[in-house]
Amino acid sequence: MKRLLLILLLLLAVAPAAHADRVRVRLFSGNKINSLNVSFDLGTYNLFADGDQLLEAMVGEGRSVHIRPDDGRLHVSVNEDDYGTYTTLHLMATDTACILCLNPEGCKQRTYEGNLEVSLLKNGTLQLVNDVEFETYIAGVVQSEIYGTQSDIFRIQAIISRTWALRNMKKHAAEGYNFCDYVHCQAYQNRCIRPDIMIGAIQSTGETLVDADGHLIETPFHSNSGGQTANSEDVWKAALPYLRSVQDTFSFRMRQSDWVKTISLDRWLSYFRKTHKINVDDSANRSELLHFTQESRKVRLLGVPLTRIRSDFQLKSTFFSVSVDSVTRSVVLHGHGFGHGVGLSQEGTIRMVGLGYSYDSILRHYYTGAVIHLDPTANPAYVENYAAQLARIIEEDKNKKTQVRSKKDDWLGRLFRLRDREEREEVYIEEEQNNEQDWQYEW
Ligand SMILES: [Zn+2]
């Protein structure tokens, strides 16, 4: 009886999490996919077709599933075996540690955790949707959205990406999924493969950014502010109290701090004359167009929104000054920063973490008056234990003489093997302790 209970508990421990905090993310949303090959890096999957008809149990390492459109339906084969045509296909993970390897025709390979749904779009190409645990998605987003080496950088990105996601769960509701994997929503270009990024994401478990009333805030971010962030109403319409322009010297001397762009004098002037009906022969106008400066951020140039100029000339930012090169008859734009400038500067964040600022003070610097809210159901002991296990894996890696690792031998597999071992040991110890009382349950 007792043994049966333990087995049941063990089964529950490895079964896919049954709670509702999952997301559906469309993958390769920027590509037209004419065919797809799926292989398996870790764990096993069940392959289902229309109405949950099981086509193949336990597809895993060494097998590959090929899917292509065929006369308005999906043709599926496993290795070389033909399985017919259907309207929808599902690859369902049998465990929490399962990794799919997606190779759409003409695209670079990516790997993802969780389940995969394949269907046909109206234009006859494939739609791929990853049904995945919410926090696994967040870790993948963090890896795609920011660079760095310190865990607080990833913790901060995880908090703002989680906050954004929770605010925008219905973004693609009409299309039957939550998010796309492109910058339209948040970049999700792969599963998280780096344990150091995972530590930052795990440490942020349950943390979101809220306003004074406890509501989730908008959390826009950009690569580099150029030294000063922008007010939300200067870039978009709404003036939000937590998206205020702040001085940001932390964004100086980083990869994207400064840029230069040269545009021919004729093109620059005719743009303002033709597109914005500005009299460029008027000396005052001409002087402003050729000698415009921004010591601090401005919003318009001769009434034209800088955001419009940025978009029309594909500039890295609106934070630029103009000078003339009379030899080449061109204007030279000297700009600062990269991105819209509203909210958090990622490179400013990287610098601040490097200087030892705490993650919450960095978030307060960029989101005026915002507060970190901790979900009361978050389990600090779980977070601590998970982070410690990952730290152990990083330490093991450091001590390895070679960097060569097998495809399967990445942190997720190792983490789960580690957990399995610990669980087995726990059960073993518990069984030993209970041996003496076992007779009580024999009835
Ligand atoms: Zn989107």
CA atoms within 13 A on the CB side of 249: 1
Q: How far is the CA of 207 from the centre of ligand 1 (A)?
A: 23
Do residues 267 and 396 share a domain? no
Domain that includes residue 129, residue range: 20-206+378-433
Q: How far is the CA of 178 from the centre of ligand 1 (A)?
A: 8
Do residues 135 and 185 share a domain? yes
Asked, for residue 234, whether it belongs to a domain, the answer is no
Q: How far is the CA of 405 from the centre of ligand 1 (A)?
A: 35
Put simply, whether the predicted model's pTM sits higher than 0.75 gets the answer yes
375-428 pLDDT, tens digit per residue, is: 888 888 888 888 888 888 888 777 776 555 444 456 666 666 555 555 545 554
Q: How far is the CA of 185 from the centre of ligand 1 (A)?
A: 4
Q: How far is the CA of 139 from the centre of ligand 1 (A)?
A: 18
pLDDT at 417: 58
Q: How far is the CA of 22 from the centre of ligand 1 (A)?
A: 17
Q: How far is the CA of 174 from the centre of ligand 1 (A)?
A: 12
Do residues 195 and 283 share a domain? no
**Sites in the chain below the pLDDT cut of 50:** 1-20, 405-408, 424, 428, 432-443
Q: How far is the CA of 348 from the centre of ligand 1 (A)?
A: 26
Q: How far is the CA of 216 from the centre of ligand 1 (A)?
A: 19
Q: How far is the CA of 332 from the centre of ligand 1 (A)?
A: 35
76-119 pLDDT, tens digit per residue, is: 999 989 999 999 999 999 988 899 999 999 999 999 999 999 99
Do residues 331 and 385 share a domain? no
Do residues 201 and 269 share a domain? no
Q: How far is the CA of 25 from the centre of ligand 1 (A)?
A: 9
Do residues 201 and 267 share a domain? no
Q: How far is the CA of 29 from the centre of ligand 1 (A)?
A: 8
Q: Report how many domains make up the chain.
A: 2
Residues with C-beta atoms within 5 A of ion ligand 1 = 180, 184-185
Do residues 34 and 94 share a domain? yes
Asked, for residue 115, whether it belongs to a domain, the answer is yes
Do residues 316 and 390 share a domain? no
Asked, for residue 352, whether it belongs to a domain, the answer is no
Q: How far is the CA of 311 from the centre of ligand 1 (A)?
A: 20
DSSP 25-77: EEESTTS--S-EEEEEEES-EEEEEGGGEEEEEEE-TT--EEEEEETTEEEEE
Do residues 384 and 311 share a domain? no
Q: How far is the CA of 252 from the centre of ligand 1 (A)?
A: 31
DSSP 318-361: S-EEEEEETTTTEEEEEEE-BS--BSEEHHHHHHHHHTT--HHH
Residues 6 or more apart in contact with residue 187 via CB below 8 angstroms: 141, 144, 145, 181
> What is the separation of C-alpha 111 from the centre of its chain, rounded to a whole number of angstroms?
14
Q: How far is the CA of 24 from the centre of ligand 1 (A)?
A: 12
pLDDT at 394: 80
pLDDT at 413: 65
Q: How far is the CA of 77 from the centre of ligand 1 (A)?
A: 31
Q: Select from 315, 25, 32 the least CA-distant residue to 182.
A: 25
Asked, for residue 355, whether it belongs to a domain, the answer is no
Q: How far is the CA of 168 from the centre of ligand 1 (A)?
A: 10
Do residues 176 and 277 share a domain? no
Q: How far is the CA of 418 from the centre of ligand 1 (A)?
A: 36
pLDDT at 17: 27
